[in-house]
Amino acid sequence: MKFYYFHLMPYVMDHDEPSSWVTLSNRLYDPKVGHTLYNQYLDQLEYAETLGWDGLCVNEHHQNCYGTMPSPNVMAAMLARRTSRAKIAILGNGLPLRENPLRIAEEIAMLDVVSGGRVVSGFVRGISAEYFSTGANPTQSRERFYEAAELILRAWTEEGPFPFDGKYYRYHYVNPWPRPLQKPHPPVWCPSQGSSETVEWAAKRRFPYLMVFTPIKRIAQIYGEYREACERFGYTASRYQLTVNVPIVVAPTDARARELAQQHVMWVFNTGLRMHPPFWRPPGYMTEASLRRLLANPPKLPSELTFEEADREGYIVYGSPATVRDKLRVFSDELKAGIVCSGMNGGSHEKTLEMMELFAREVMPHFREDAHVDETAGVGR
Amino acid sequence: MPERRELSVRGTPVHMLEDGAGPPLLFLHGAGGAGRWLPFQERLAKTFTVRMPSHPGHGGSPAAEWIEHVSDLAFHYLDLLDGLGLARVHLAGASFGGWIAAEIAVMASHRLASLVLIDPVGIKVDGWIYPFLFGMDIPEIVATVFHDPMAALALAPPDQSVETLALQYRQGAALARVAWNPYLYDPLLRRRLVRIAAPTLVCWGAHDRLAPLAPCGETWAREIPGARLRVFADSGHVPHLEEPGAVAEAVSEFCRETKEAR
């Protein structure tokens, strides 16, 4: 199995506001604290490569304390120069949020060339709240996503210049310099929460599907749907098309790991994802079919998730190295996921680095039967 | 009880309520008002043959993918008038419906015997940004739209079933398609208002917090040539719900006067 170190770059804080997104005033952001945090987080990502992680993940979110990376490409650029081996996975760029998505084609190509072809390019729609913070029309989200993806893929693979006359994006000259180094283009991943439309779209193009912060039962269900869709499109999904993002807490004992998970991981759900209810459901962001599926089986709001529920339903992997190995076996052997993306939080920068060391020493080596495999070969393009 | 009609307007299905006797009046509802035949409509139906279609994606009218701009709705209603064989009508609209009515009026004023706008949105008003209803929960919306929160009960959903929630989501999406950004206005509409030649009555709730009388109502009354402004002292954004009798009376009186003046 491959391990990618995933960072949200949160601005961890407690507050009593109804929403950690969109309306949480940025007067609460202290740039001096931010300076320390950004640099510690980048140190963690760089250290992950030293410790043997296969990839480093950054991602885009706007106007919140949950993840302070409005431009993931900026962070990827720093990693491109400070690392030399690990993949740099941008999970991803919110395509419909850009007025000019050709910029994404350009920026990813720059990163791919600078990094020597180590970039993984996630294509996302951006989560619901993003439509409130950027002004993008949520009713156009899906169409814009498909059109921007087509534009970017063509910009990477067709010789320019060529004209592009879409419904939302129009250019007389598509001809980005540079072109990406990877051929035919950097692998594309689809991080998502399991909408059936996205599953189909990703499966059709062999784009790996990444389940983010999802109960394990639902991961199994969506993986099933994805595999089935791949078969319908005439091929069998590689395990590296099935990826998962789950927080991992490892400590010398189960009891200590449980304590740390309660203290630090639950912040992500209970505070980081606390959202004013309308921000969860911008009009038209979902198809009516998806909405009905959601209403038929409404998921618990992350802000109301208790540790016991998160534990029971498999939102978190925590424990001693032996316990974490057992839990990860479920992902590798039962779900047959090929890549696990996870962030860690030990409560301080130093403790986080120690946790990473423990994981790299006691857990990772037990999952290295595929050490010689390039997980990006033949997938994502 | 109004008659329920199912029509097809150039292939777009429309659900419409109709009742009353007298000259034809087309009423265009605001967000959340689809299919609600309330005291205001009952009162108007004593003077007019009132037709209230549900906008596509609202109430009983299914969503129409082709509608992507407010002018699409305006053309849709001109087509509806053609389909009904109505050469000229009294046209009234409230809030979002007032916006559509104004778009129709700048296109085809000659089709209108009169125009009544009740707290319309739809133009950019200097010095005012409409509060973002899409980002509000129900209590915040009620506090923004209604002067008397009890009046909101008339628009309350019947239940919280999947069907009701799906309808509300569909209505929100249909509104957002044409009104998310720019929010609640068409940048081109204001400078076109001068084209409106129909006699126009602008009704405004004195306590409108979504589009306050000053500057919004005053701007509309100033930009439409010869428009008359009537203010309703006990209303917020929806005077036809909060003072239905008084607004219906003002509409009837205005239409009678304009007829006598001709």
Which residues lie across from A128 on neighbouring strands? none
C-alpha–C-alpha distance, residues A10 and A207, integer Å: 28
**CA angle, A213 as apex, A196 and A216 as ends, to 5°?**
75
Specify the fold of A2-367.
TIM Barrel (3.20.20)
C-alpha–C-alpha distance, residues A198 and A305, integer Å: 26
**Average pLDDT of the segment spanning B96-109:** 98
One digit per residue, pLDDT tens: chain A, 381 residues? 999 999 999 999 999 999 999 999 999 999 999 999 999 999 999 999 999 999 999 999 999 999 999 999 999 999 999 999 999 999 989 999 999 999 999 999 999 999 999 999 999 999 999 999 999 999 999 999 999 999 999 999 999 999 999 999 999 999 999 999 999 999 999 998 778 888 999 999 999 999 888 888 889 999 999 999 999 999 999 999 999 999 999 999 999 999 999 999 999 999 999 999 999 999 999 999 889 988 988 888 999 999 999 999 999 999 999 999 999 999 999 999 999 999 999 999 999 999 999 999 999 999 999 989 999 988 888
Query: pLDDT by residue (tens digit) across B243-260?
Result: 999 999 999 999 998 876
**Average pLDDT of the segment spanning B231-242:** 97
For chain A, give the number of residues.
381
Find out whether B123 and B190 touch, Cβ atoms under 8 Å: yes
Q: Min CA distance, A338 vs chain B (Å)?
A: 37
Tell me: pLDDT of B26 over 90: yes
Contacts of A53 (CB under 8 A, 6+ apart): A3, A4, A5, A86, A360, A364
C-alpha–C-alpha distance, residues A331 and A248, integer Å: 13
Would you list which residues of chain B are within 8 Å, Cβ to Cβ, of chain A? 134-137, 162, 165-166, 169-170, 172-173, 175-177, 180-181
C-alpha–C-alpha distance, residues A73 and A79, integer Å: 10
Query: Residue B55's CB: how many other CB atoms inside 10 A?
Result: 28
- The chain-wide mean pLDDT, for chain B, equals 96
Contact assignment for B135 to A22 by CB distance below 8 Å: yes
- Percent of chain B at pLDDT > 70 equals 99
Output the pLDDT for position A293. Answer: 86
Find out whether B52 and B40 touch, Cβ atoms under 8 Å: no
Query: pLDDT by residue (tens digit) across A172-203?
Result: 999 999 999 999 999 999 998 778 888 999 99
Find out whether B52 and B16 touch, Cβ atoms under 8 Å: yes
Query: pLDDT by residue (tens digit) across A291-326?
Result: 998 898 888 899 999 999 999 999 999 999 999 999
Q: Min CA distance, A374 vs chain B (Å)?
A: 43
The enclosing H or E element of B200 equals strand B200-205
Task: For residue A277, give the chain B residue with the closest CA.
Answer: B137
**Average pLDDT of the segment spanning B77-99:** 98
Q: Looking at beta carbons, which residues of chain A come within 8 Å of B169? A: 281, 283, 286, 288, 291
CATH of B3-261, one of 2.30.30.170, 2.40.50.140, 3.40.50.1820, 3.40.50.2300: 3.40.50.1820
Q: Looking at beta carbons, which residues of chain A come within 8 Å of B57? A: none
Task: For residue A135, give the chain B residue with the closest CA.
Answer: B181
* Burial of A208 (C-beta count, 10 Å sphere; 0-12/13-18/19+): buried
Contact assignment for A138 to B176 by CB distance below 8 Å: yes
Question: Which of B133, B142, B215, B147 minimizes the C-alpha distance to B175?
Answer: B133
Find out whether A243 and A309 touch, Cβ atoms under 8 Å: no
Which DSSP string do the residues of A147-199 spell out, in sequence order? HHHHHHHHHHHSPSPEEEE-SS-EEEEE--SSPPSSSS---EEEEES--HHHH
Q: Looking at beta carbons, which residues of chain A come within 8 Å of B166? A: 288, 291-292, 295
C-alpha–C-alpha distance, residues B22 and A130, integer Å: 50
Q: For chain B, what is the total number of helices (H) and then of strands (E)?
A: 9, 8
Q: For chain A, what is the total number of helices (H) and then of strands (E)?
A: 14, 12
Q: How far is CA A50 from CA A365, B3, B234, in A?
A: 14, 75, 70
Contact assignment for B176 to A283 by CB distance below 8 Å: yes
Q: Min CA distance, A122 vs chain B (Å)?
A: 27
Contact assignment for B136 to A288 by CB distance below 8 Å: no
The enclosing H or E element of A87 equals strand A87-94
- In this complex, the residue of B135, B136, B177 whose CB is nearest that of residue A139 is B177
Would you list which residues of chain A are within 8 Å, Cβ to Cβ, of chain B? 22-23, 132, 135-140, 276-279, 281-284, 286, 288, 291-292, 295-296
Task: For residue A129, give the chain B residue with the closest CA.
Answer: B135
Contacts of A21 (CB under 8 A, 6+ apart): A63, A64, A66, A129, A132, A133, A274, A275, A276, A279
Which of the four pLDDT bands, split at 50, 70 and 90, describes residue B261? Answer: low
For chain B, give the number of residues.
262
Find out whether A34 and A13 touch, Cβ atoms under 8 Å: no
What ranges do the domains of chain B cover? 3-261
Task: For residue A132, give the chain B residue with the closest CA.
Answer: B135
Which of the four pLDDT bands, split at 50, 70 and 90, describes residue B151? Answer: confident
Written in H, E and C, the secondary structure of A182-195 is CCCCCCEEEEECCC
Q: Min CA distance, A324 vs chain B (Å)?
A: 40
**ipTM of model over 0.90:** yes
Which residues lie across from B202 on neighbouring strands? B117, B229
* Burial of B168 (C-beta count, 10 Å sphere; 0-12/13-18/19+): middle
Tokens 């962030």 found at: A343
Torsion angle defined by CA atoms of residues B91, B93, B96 and B100, in that order, rounded to the nearest 10 degrees: 10
Q: Looking at beta carbons, which residues of chain B come within 8 Å of A132? A: 134-135
Contacts of A193 (CB under 8 A, 6+ apart): A211, A212, A214
Size of interface A-B (CB pairs under 8 A): 52
Q: Looking at beta carbons, which residues of chain B come within 8 Å of A23? A: 135
**3-state class (DSSP) for residue B241:** helix
CA A249 to chain centroid, in Å, comes to 18
C-alpha–C-alpha distance, residues B33 and A167, integer Å: 32
Output the pLDDT for position A297. Answer: 83
Mutate to test the interface with A, among B169, B171, B175 (most CBs of A within 10 A): B169
Tokens of A208: 């790996």
**3-state class (DSSP) for residue A105:** helix
Contact assignment for A278 to B181 by CB distance below 8 Å: no
Task: For residue A23, give the chain B residue with the closest CA.
Answer: B135
- The chain-wide mean pLDDT, for chain A, equals 95
**3-state class (DSSP) for residue A250:** strand
